[in-house]
Amino acid sequence: MWFYRLIVLTAVLQWCAGTGDDRTDQVNLSLCKMWNECVKTVVEVAEDKDVADLQTICKDVAQKLKKRDVWNCESLLSPSTKKQAANDEQPDHLKQPPSNPTSLALSLLGRTNYFSDCSEIHTALAMLNDVTSGVHDIRPVGLTSPISVYCDQTTDGGGWTVIQRRFDGSVDFNRPYNDFAHGFGFINDGEQWLGLENMYYLTRQNAYELYIELEDWDSVVKYAKYSLFSVGSGSDYRLSVSGYSGTAGDGFSSDLSNHYLSGQGFSARDSDRDAWSGSCAGGHSNYAGGWWYNGCTTSALNGPYLRPSDRTSYSGYGIYWNPFGGSYRLYLKKSKMMVRPANFQP
């Protein structure tokens, strides 16, 4: 608390010493410094009980910046950027409020600042009491450029980064290995696969957990949650998963040793890394679509999208999670895979 009092005192002294526009600049700069400390505090020491006491202050700071029409603190906190801004007209996208109110925390930090996953975004936006699901740019440690992800901030306390989503068959998932490596689909409101390379950087930052939400054609919804989940490096993007709980059953392991998927590399129709003599992803009569096959599997959420009218004895399996139960386990209606740090505190 002393830090904020010190900044406020400094701002008052600078304001008294200045005149006109200088006074306004000094107040804006001090507010930006306070906001920067707010975000760092809730992200880096979110588990500290004293952080809750700062939320009211931080929310007031954000609202004051909004009222003063300050939408980019980076230009004030960086001397070089500030000097350039004095010579050039400020771009329109920095003059206008963000289109999504819940992106206020990110916009005030400037567009070159990124959180590493959706759990950090949840923590920062919780200060504003305005946490909602939506698309954000993040930059996991090790990636040189940000990636766009969908943040699920409602399921099981929120903080989830969505890595796979299917619900209407609008995106073809029977793709070559390179597509699965780099991702495809529509992040905002469509079906998507985040990409194995992005999953690798995302899940190597910390110990991550996995949440899988499944729905069948009778609107029965079940879930499978794993306390540990990671994707290995680009040699084969090997799966590591354990600690099942939930209602959908454990689709990554079974009584059959050749269906135990943890430790398996990722296979696609043009890249056979499974333990079967044939190819589960491309040559087996029941499966199609990239997955961590063994020999072969009790789950494959990237199979073809099959509606009840499409399912025949010759069609093979669709969005498949065998322990879900019932006849629809072979061709489910919806699937969603999400990850967040295992130590996340809703």
Residue 154 CA to residue 336 CA, distance in Å, equals: 14
Would the pTM count as exceeding 0.75? Answer: yes
Same-domain check for residues 66 and 131: no
In a domain, 81, yes or no: no
Specify whether 235 is located in the same domain as 123: yes
Q: Is residue 140 located within the same domain as residue 65? A: no
| 152 SS3 class | strand
The DSSP bridge partners found for residue 239 are 231
Read off the CATH number of the domain in which 146 is found.
3.90.215.10
Do 188 and 40 share a structural domain? no
**Amino acid present at 326:** G
Rounding to the nearest 10 degrees, give the CA dihedral for residues 273, 274, 278, 282: -70
Query: Which amino acid is located at 67 in the chain?
Result: K
Instruction: Quote the CA–CA distance of 94 and 111 in Å, as a whole number.
Output: 9
Whether 192 and 337 map to the same domain: the answer is yes
Q: Which strand (E) or helix (H) includes residue 120?
A: helix 118-126
In terms of domains, do 120 and 40 share one? no
Element spanning 85, H or E? helix 79-87
Note whether residue 86 is domain-resident. no
Residue 101, domain member (yes or no) = no
Cα 169 versus chain centre, distance: 22
56 and 202 in a single domain? The answer is no
Together in a domain, 69 and 162: no
Phi, psi of 316, deg, nearest 5: 80, -170
**DSSP code at position 90:** P
Compute, in degrees rounded to 10, the torsion defined by CA atoms 310, 311, 315, 321: 120
In a domain, 82, yes or no: no
161 and 72 share one domain: no
Q: Nearest CA to 262 among 291, 222, 303?
A: 291
Same domain (yes/no): 189, 240? yes
The torsion angles phi and psi of 35, rounded to 5 degrees, stand at -65, -40
**Residue 181 counted as domain residue:** yes
300 within some domain: yes
Same domain for 214 and 323?
yes
Q: How do the pLDDT tens digits run along the chain, 346 residues long? A: 445 554 554 554 454 555 556 667 778 888 887 777 776 665 555 455 555 566 667 777 777 777 777 766 666 766 544 444 444 444 443 334 444 444 555 555 443 468 899 998 898 777 667 788 999 999 999 999 999 999 999 999 999 999 999 999 999 999 999 999 999 999 999 999 999 999 999 999 999 999 999 999 999 999 999 999 999 999 899 999 999 999 999 999 987 777 899 999 999 999 999 988 888 987 666 888 999 999 899 999 999 999 999 988 888 999 999 999 999 999 999 999 999 999 998 7
Residues 336, 226 share a domain: yes
State the residue range of the domain holding 204.
Answer: 114-341
Report residue 148: phi and psi, to 5°. Answer: -90, 135
